[in-house]
Chains A and B, each alone.
Chain A
């Protein structure tokens, strides 16, 4: 087995990461109809990723095995005007292909990303997942995160 590597993403990875992001969005739509996936989500993900690569204060990492991208994570630095800790590293997108889970790869990716964010001054790491995405909720709780914010939704 080739070892898994966690490294900064490049332009060449964008198509593969866009596929992973589209998968997370589809998964979210499974849990909650208010996360219905928009048309051309994958194309939009590609643009979003290309922009990310140029944007200061954002980080995009991939986990790869040989040539294959098996997971990706995106985060950005945010500032909270009224609260302490003030500087927050916020994970916006995170996905590992199912067959590469259960090997602590997810934990390693989160730790690597947290390290990078702290180097940039982040005092706290947050991430955002749909309340009903039980896979994600379970993962973060297992890795020592706790719920912080609630988003309430009403459709009418």
Chain B
């Protein structure tokens, strides 16, 4: 335990509190139980009638059980936070934390469910087998490029929404931030040159989503550890075999056929989206200085961004966003995923399409529009109404896309999202105030 001396405060607390509470998520009943007699209704013999009704029509599982509000947060523990392949047990605290955010911000019941699996096929088979119990799946912290294959396969083979937050969540928040950053700097998606520094799950997903959102693929430039991706790079055939998603980017993007490193990419670029690794010296001032006037830089590595925001501003960047809460413009997945599933679950969506993610990003951006500025392109997390608004946008989009099992008006969607999120927050308040959930030890 000596090691703890040098730990940051949050880490020390996390260690102590995790032990004190024995984990962050438990199961709380939804129905009153006054005496053991009640179990003849909640359990046998009464429950048998409910089972037979569902047996006759399995879609009733959404009405008669908690399936409609239940997702699983699933990982194989191969790329947990910035910690690497630490295994399923070690990923459990992270997945519990995610489940807590889902409950508190989205009113979604999420199970933390790390898996021990030998390979991609086993992962896919296991997740598919869970379908009858769940309204949706949140994939988390799976290494790239395996995560692309898993998401694409599960999205096409399952009948409930499958979401990989490290791809779609990050891509969606980047898109939301970008919409407003472009507005602030008088640009449009068309004709804006966007450089992606880093070719991991987040940036590849963001590039894919931006193309869906109307970006001209030729205006996108992506760099990996070997430099700018282009169709004639020496290792292009190897990419086809090892990472076909990166290969697709290499083939489709970079119309000016730029080659080389970051300097060549940034010369004349409008936007930089960096998800490349711990800074603060991964990107140099002189490189950002090569960008066009009124440049936009997203520096997303946590905890240390690829370069400090002050340096980016000094190099001429007008809008700077990071992944951190202590700088302006935090690009944070937590703004999106609770709302995405709130909306998807409320209409019993079959999947979450790219258009639904774009609709969520658009709504998220619109929410920040009231006091839009270079320092405020993304809403803050503390205004919880944003989650209900984004959820209703997702629900509307699901219906337009033909992916909703329920039809709801925008008004009803908003109301139900507000109610469900409020219920979750109220439950927390009551549990804490009544002492059922005690305050942590000093």
Contact = CB atoms under 8 A, between A and B. Distances in A.
Interface in A126-142: 134-135
A23 B235 CA distance: 8
B232 A97 contact: yes
Contacts of A33: none
Given A98-B247, A98-B251, A99-B251, A27 B231 contact: no
A26 interface: yes
A32 interface: no
B228 to A, nearest CB: 15
Interface string B223-243: 000000001101011101100
Contacts of A98: 231, 236-237, 240, 247, 250-251
A43 interface: no
Nearest to B236: A98
Contacts of B236: 98
A30 B251 contact: no
B232 A134 contact: no
Interface in B232-289: 232, 234, 236-238, 240-241, 247, 250-251
Is chain B's binding surface mostly helix, strand, loop or mixed? helix
Interface in A75-110: 97-99
B238 A27 contact: yes
A149 to B, nearest CB: 24
Nearest to A98: B236
A30 B232 CA distance: 17
Given A98-B236, A98-B247, A135 B231 contact: no
Interface residues of A, number: 9
Contacts of A30: 237-238, 241
B231 A99 contact: yes
A46 B382 CA distance: 65
A26 B234 contact: yes
Nearest to A22: B234
A135 B234 CA distance: 16
Given A98-B247, A98-B251, A99-B251, A23 B237 contact: yes
A123 B237 CA distance: 32
Contacts of A27: 237-238
Interface in A22-53: 23, 26-27, 30
Contacts of B238: 27, 30
B237 A135 contact: yes
Nearest to B230: A99
A97 B234 contact: no
Given A30-B238, A99-B251, 7 more contacts: A23-B237, A27-B237, A30-B241, A98-B231, A98-B237, A98-B240, A135-B241
Interface of A: 23, 26-27, 30, 97-99, 134-135
Interface of B: 231-232, 234, 236-238, 240-241, 247, 250-251
12 contacts: A26-B234, A27-B238, A30-B237, A30-B238, A98-B236, A98-B240, A98-B247, A98-B250, A98-B251, A99-B232, A99-B251, A134-B241
